[in-house]
Structure 1
Amino acid sequence: MELTNDKIAGIHVRGGTILGTTNKGGPFAWPVKQKNGKMIAKDRSDELINRMDELGIEAVINIGGDGSQKISQKLFEKGCNIIGVPKTIDNDLSATDYTFGFQTAVEIATDAVDKLVTTAFSHHRVMILEVMGREAGWIALHAAIAGGAEICLIPEIPYDIKKIVKTVNERTTGDSGFANIVIAEGARPKGGKMTYKRSNEFGHEKIKLGGAGIALENQLQEEGIHADIRTTILGHLQRGGIPSAFDRILATQMGVKAFEMVLNKQYGQMVAYRHPDLIAVPIKQAIAEPNLVQLNSPLMETARGVGIQFAE
């Protein structure tokens, strides 16, 4: 697809991708169907690089999260002129303050908390909202603070169910009469595991997270909570819709910076936002370790300061 002005007109208000691209499989594990119907993974990275040479493609700008940028690094090591741009709602890429897509997901999650608070207050219920976040609890943390949730459960802190029960009982039997809980999909109880199911879909990770909220609801009922409990799994609603103004601006800034990096031949680097600057960092550095919530960070202190319970 040639990205002419006509093709890109108006895409700033659209989520997703007009390219239709995905890192499913990727050039190093391309899904190939055999005659017997069985799928196998084939390394086609050399074919990709040769084809780009044939087409006269001078550089690649790879937009995506941790998985996409790991592919970027491997292609760079094979001689591909490639630059990374961090796009993931999880905000789990190191070396950048924010990835675009994250703030939009937070706004959607916060809107969901706001709506659930209405029901919780009106009907004296315990409302559980499950949001995305496999290893990093950034969406849950931001939504809990912005939405005023009483309890926030994130992957970085295995939770103590007894402490959650205590907080819920205090809320539901006191003057408030209700409680709101935000839980990341990767959250798990102390001594327990993440809630997931096995995936047989070729090219995807072997496990699919989802159900942490339902699991928590069951645990609370087993612990004797008598209040009505309702669970909402926000799921892919967080990944679509109209991007926030912040994400539109950040994506535009990163796009301009990426092209500057191409002109300067800064290959093997990723665009990163370090307030207030856009800089270039080695992709290898960005994917070295995930950007997780630090338990003593200022944002966590803010959350604790307003009384949010993490069931530590």
Structure 2
Amino acid sequence: MVTKKKVLVLTGGGDCPGLNAVIRGIVKRAKTEKGWSVIGSIEAFNGVLKEPMQLMKLNNKTTAGIHVKGGTILKTTNKGNPLDFAVEQPDGSWTTSDRSDELIEKIKSIGIEAVINIGGDGSQRISQKLFEKGLNIVGVPKTIDNDVSSTDFTFGFRTAVQIATDSFDKLVTTAESHHRVMIMEVMGRDAGWIALHTAMAGGAEVCLIPEIPYDIKKVVDHINSRYKKGKGFVNIVVAEGAKPKDGSVTTVISDEVGYENQRLRGVAFALSAQLKAAGCKADIRETVLGHTQRGGTPIAFDRILATLFGVKAFEMVLNKEYGRMASYRNNNITSVSLKDAISDYNYIKTDNYMVKAAKAIGISFGD
């Protein structure tokens, strides 16, 4: 009996519409090649590091119809960095340990030919370090924030924008009915792509993003000018990582073990307080979309892009193109080195045409 080659698939970081479509794309492409089987690791690399290992067979039966579902059948975590793994001490305290060598040894011990790591910027940084340690690994870019460089779009982003736009449309009517200022907070830790696209699609009056620190007085002036013209309502989209000039992002301290990022939360309420303190007389209401942007059914574009990424990732394994990441460039699916993919962050540049166009149609960035 011929022993099948095994490819290990995992999803890391935040969940994202389209993850299941990638998994399904990998499985369907693998089935066309004789001698391959696909294994999934539960909760990113945690599934391999646990004793016993938590793995699942991925085949046509286990992946049937999952492309229309949000989330990931493999589960995910942003607390499982194998190079800085949280370890509980006998006294109940926590420390971290580099378990990457142990991880690679366990992966090789079960006959894994290669690993496909589906994740965002942080996940691909882990991919690069594991590749440098000798692991056969390829990456698939995933993030609703669209902040991974070397790809024009990441799957999940457009679904998040659609969810945000649908919500924004509903807020516009209530803002108009009550002559209010409505503030809608969307995700976007360091990059404001969701906020920018939502503001453009929804017709916002103000868009505040991390890349352009805002002057609260200019925001108030823009609001007041609307009311003076008889347009007695204003809708604002603000990214969670937006901050005032000479100010800082709004955060809360996380007590979650193994969580490496700052928790950004509350910028909508902080902005509301700043507007009132700066003399805004209008009634103000705040809405925080939060994790609704991460869930639900992926739109058609994201299902297609995710499937294309899954097919490409498996073909990269077939061709032994390790240390690389699938990429969408100029309406084509290609690949880039992981090193290049993580060398730069996909910030919105202030001279971006979309920013210029937004300003040209009257959207204020508070600058």
| TM-score normalized by the length of structure 2 | 0.84
1:50 shift after superposition: 0.8
Q: Is the 8 A contact 2:78 2:259 kept in 1?
A: no
Name 1:163's counterpart in structure 2: 218
CA–CA distance in structure 1, aligned partners of residues 327 and 220 of structure 2: 41
The answer to whether structure 1 residue 211 and structure 2 residue 266 are counterparts is: yes
The answer to whether structure 1 residue 179 and structure 2 residue 234 are counterparts is: yes
1:24-43 superposed matches below 5 A: 24-43=79-98
Name segments (4+ residues, structure 1) moved above 3 Å. none
**SS of residue paired to 1:171:** helix
CA–CA distance in structure 1, aligned partners of residues 136 and 78 of structure 2: 18
1:300 shift after superposition: 1.2
Name 2:206's counterpart in structure 1: 151
CA–CA distance in structure 2, aligned partners of residues 16 and 185 of structure 1: 22
The answer to whether structure 1 residue 76 and structure 2 residue 131 are counterparts is: yes
**How many residues matched?**
312
Name 2:161's counterpart in structure 1: 106
Q: Deviations over 1:14-43 (max 9, x none)?
A: 111111132413211222211111122111
Output the amino acid matched with 1:10. Answer: G
CA–CA distance in structure 2, aligned partners of residues 79 and 105 of structure 1: 36
Name 2:144's counterpart in structure 1: 89
Name the CA shift for 1:206/1:104 in 2 (closer, same or farther; >3 Å). Answer: closer
1:11 shift after superposition: 1.0
Q: Is the 8 A contact 1:187 1:212 kept in 2?
A: yes
Q: Is the 8 A contact 1:23 1:67 kept in 2?
A: no
1:206 shift after superposition: 5.1
Name 2:63's counterpart in structure 1: 8
CA–CA distance in structure 1, aligned partners of residues 301 and 261 of structure 2: 34
The answer to whether structure 1 residue 304 and structure 2 residue 359 are counterparts is: yes
Name 2:329's counterpart in structure 1: 274
Output the amino acid matched with 2:192. Answer: G
Structure 2 gap segments, 5+ residues each: 1-55
Identity fraction in percent: 62
- Which of 184, 203, 210 is residue 129 of structure 1 equivalent to? 184
The answer to whether structure 1 residue 202 and structure 2 residue 202 are counterparts is: no
Name 2:310's counterpart in structure 1: 255
Structure 1 gap segments, 5+ residues each: none
Name 2:104's counterpart in structure 1: 49
Q: Is the 8 A contact 1:198 1:206 kept in 2?
A: no
CA–CA distance in structure 2, aligned partners of residues 142 and 297 of structure 1: 13
CA–CA distance in structure 2, aligned partners of residues 53 and 231 of structure 1: 51
